Structure 1
């Protein structure tokens, strides 16, 4: 019976190709975090990065913003509606609606590496983490969770240690001593397998130190040739958007 891939092998497979940020959107009428954007990323041979938030009834919804106004033109917040209500909300002027993570996982079905950004501020992270983990239990494919919030990494380390996990980092507004301490504390809490770093922060002593220690560094959001050059010198893989 063949042995299961090691954690290092799974991580290498995950970061083997670039990731389309919120799917491949911004052209041909495609909108971020929609089925069409995910299919476009797969067709382009890219991995997929997407965002999740918790619905009022404890499911993981695939959408970036906490509020519904920018993408749906509606008042209210994602966490105030049940998943069945969110699934009926149209995004922009398209026929796309807000999908659940389970629906998106069924769509992707292992055809592309997947990064799931878990968006849950504060320390009350269990409802969304549980929803994401529940959706992932039957998923077969290269996948990892990541978050700015180190409590997300702590939760997965404690409750679903087999899931690959990343820490998302920006030094924007946090260049001083306090920011450096915060980054090191976040690293200690999350104990991530990789970093996803703001491309605007390169070169970064913190990112370089983690990378030198063997931790892969991904970078977001790469949009220009200058971004690509910084990424090539400082990171192992990119999370990109196609310029308008």
Structure 2
């Protein structure tokens, strides 16, 4: 079943990994960046990774080095251990879990959640992170939508949380940008063959590839088009010729009047 994406996901620009700016003490996916996005009135996009003890952690990378004061894979840490590791450029706050973020957002702005691929090849070896996300979302009454690059993950989310709108994160799948994937996998995913199977109500597509005819054709079928990631007002204006909303970072996207 395809669920409608609430209008606020289209009305409010979506802050990529929340409204982050390490020069102001707001790392990616941090509670500080989430607070700033709420205060500004933006929608929020966050990422989920799995902890060693089965919790959904709000963190983008598979390894700690770029974003946190630690090293190694995040999935080797328990929730408590991850929460104790400070984010680089922040004020000492650690890696939050999804439950904490949901308590903070509390329905004040829309929340777009990307479930990071746990298979490694965007294949079928998924389930634990999707279960953790679905468990954390039980009882949450705010506007929320789920998405993943991995269509199998989106299918599992549809099974576990059928009441939550969902979409697929899509890309040009240039093989040079996806060294972990094979050519046949990229060729298949580039054609977006899983939209009906997962009951997608939207895609979030790579901004530089929005003019591809297939994206236009997808929009013509009634599917909503979000995009990632624009980094200036000029890029945003170009993207909005093809997309219903943008995910932005590095500047302040204009809010509706």
**Alignment match, 1:58:** 54
Q: Is the contact between residue 168 and residue 195 of structure 1 (CA under 8 Å) also seen in structure 2?
A: yes
The answer (yes or no) to whether the contact 2:48–2:57 under 8 Å persists in 1 is yes
The answer on whether the counterparts of 1:52 and 1:63 sit within 8 Å (CA) in structure 2 is yes
Q: CA RMSD in A?
A: 2.2
Counterpart in the other structure of 2:99 = 102
- Which of residues 13, 17, 27 in structure 2 aligns to 1:22? 17
* Contact 1:202–1:230, Cα closer than 8 Å, also in 2: no
Structure 1: distance between partners of 2:192 and 2:210: 17
Q: Tell me the TM-score normalised to structure 1 length.
A: 0.90
- Matches of 1:216 and 1:163 in 2, distance apart? 15
Match status 1:113 vs 2:102? no
In structure 2, distance between residues paired with 1:89 and 1:167 = 31
CA separation of 1:174 and 1:230: change in aligned 2, threshold 3 A: farther
Answer yes or no: is 1:201 the counterpart of 2:214.
Answer: no
Stretch of structure 1 that moved more, 93-102 or 136-145: 93-102
Find the residue that maps to 1:233 and give its secondary structure.
coil
Could you list the runs of 5+ residues in structure 1 that have no partner in the other structure? 1-5
**CA, structure 1 residues 53+178, in 2 after alignment: closer, same or farther (shift >3 Å)?**
closer
* Aligned match of 1:191: 199
The secondary structure found in structure 1 opposite 2:62 is coil
Structure-2 separation of matches of 1:80 and 1:169: 28
> 1:83 and 1:64 mapped to 2: Cα distance?
15
The TM-score, its normalising length taken from structure 2, stands at 0.86
Residue 243 of structure 1 deviates from its aligned partner by 4.1
Q: Which residue of 2 aligns with 1:229?
A: 237
C-alpha distance in 1 between matches for 2:247 and 2:55: 26
1:78 pairs with 2:74:
yes
Answer yes or no: is the 8 Å Cα contact 2:70–2:85 preserved in 1.
no
